[in-house]
Amino acid sequence: MRTLLAAGACAAWLVAVSADVSTSPQTSAVSPAAPATPAAALVTSYCASCHNDRARVGGFSLTAADATQVGRAADVWEKVVVKLRSRSMPPPGLKRPDNATYDAVSHWLEEELDRAAVARPNPGRPADLHRLNRGEYANAIRDLLGIDVDAAALLPPDAQAYGFDTNADALSMEPALLDRYLTAAAKIARIAVGDPSLAPTVERYTAVPGNANEQTWLWQTERLSEDFPLGSRGGIAARHYFPVDGEYDLRVRLARTYADVIRGLQTPSTIDVRVDGVQAARFTVGGPKAPTESQDADEPLHVRVPVKAGSRQIVATILKTDGARAEGLGPDRIPIWNRDGDVPTFPLGISSLLVTGPYNGRVPESSPSRQRLFVCPPSPECATRIL
């Protein structure tokens, strides 16, 4: 009985194996083939004879490029799209597709490449360490502390790569540059907390931002912008951050010729100095009795005013007098490249505004930076609250 059962089991196993072997070829034979794509059809008809692994015409092969999932060889198919859009391949003299085929295959490849790029975005190789350049550093200080700093005065220019100063590969951190950043951070920290022991410093503003000399090359005959009061002409408007409550000296320097002679003194002019729209001083300079060639007529044009800490608009401008014309030889408008016309009879203009301070500084009761740094005025109660 046991022998019959064993024989039956062996026979059943042989039948099952023979059935599986007989059906395996049929299953593989009817397996669906990879779907044909416009790119595959184009390559087979027009490209494969030259751009294969054996011929490699132009050092380019499409044999291994997946024509179904083009995103797997995006760099190869990007080159194919360029050639198809320009109609440069296949070359003249060989069999070429019609324009409809060119456009259809190019459009299909572009859509597939875009779809693959969205599905698997490639942000590029990240840098080992990306530091802030000086422009980004100034913006970060402004956003965090509410302080506008002159990054060009605090930090050296950043290295550029491919025309950009934001390229992380070029933004290295040398020891000397690190020292400059630490020095800038120490200065900004004292300004932010309102250190009353800050030594007086001089900040210079010109009519042309970033101008390194006293020549403005602006015809200061009209109101320059909305920052200036009505009825004014020329001048300088800037935003200055006053670090502490105290006194600050505002000094106006007048435009000069290349011989360092102040222009426009033959006609009387009135100069207004304002802080946040409030008049801080008014000066009168020039006139019939004034020396026509002077190098120090603007020495008295300064005033010391008390100012609260914070960012404030400072303006120095000239009151416009209708119908007043400068007397003397020479026109009042000469091309800037012609120095022969640079004479003292040009109309009076303002070349720079100097802010010096603080004097008698005091810890500010409130400033934009202190409001962001301190949750309460420094005191034992405040310390307890913080803890």
Q: State the burial class of residue 363 (Cβ atoms within 10 Å of its Cβ: 0-12, 13-18, 19+).
A: middle
CB 254 within 8 A of CB 351: yes
CB 271 within 8 A of CB 282: yes
CA–CA dist 33, 103 (Å, integer): 26
CA–CA dist 365, 245 (Å, integer): 8
The whole-number pLDDT of residue 14 equals 38
Question: Which residues are CB-contacts of 286 (< 8 A; sequence separation ≥ 6)?
Answer: 264, 265, 266, 267, 268, 269, 297, 348
Residue 28 host element (H or E): helix 2-29
Rounded (5°) CA angle 14-18-24: 145
C-alpha count within 13 angstroms, C-beta hemisphere, residue 99: 0
Residue at 342: amino acid letter: D
The whole-number pLDDT of residue 25 equals 40
User: Exposed e or buried b for every residue in 270-291, given b needs 16+ CB within 10 A?
Assistant: ebbbbbeeeebbebebbeeeee
Select the CATH number that applies to the domain covering 201-358 from these four: 3.20.20.240, 3.40.140.10, 2.60.120.260, 3.30.1180.20. 2.60.120.260
CB 55 within 8 A of CB 12: no
The whole-number pLDDT of residue 5 equals 40
CB 48 within 8 A of CB 41: no
At what angle are helices 74-85 and 99-119 packed, to 10 degrees?
A: 150
Q: State the burial class of residue 306 (Cβ atoms within 10 Å of its Cβ: 0-12, 13-18, 19+).
A: middle
Would you write out the chain's pLDDT as a tens digit for each of its 387 residues? 444 444 444 444 433 434 443 443 433 333 344 457 888 888 888 898 898 888 888 888 888 888 888 888 888 999 999 999 999 888 888 889 999 999 999 999 999 999 988 988 877 776 666 789 999 999 999 999 999 898 988 999 998 888 888 887 788 888 999 999 999 999 999 999 999 999 999 999 988 777 777 776 677 888 888 999 999 999 999 999 999 999 999 999 998 888 888 988 988 999 999 999 999 999 999 988 888 788 899 999 999 999 999 999 999 999 998 655 554 444 545 555 555 557 788 888 999 999 999 999 999 988 889 989 888 887 888 888 877
Tokens of 363: 């810890």
The whole-number pLDDT of residue 324 equals 53
Residue extent(s) of CATH 2.60.120.260 domains in the chain: 201-358
CA–CA dist 240, 280 (Å, integer): 15
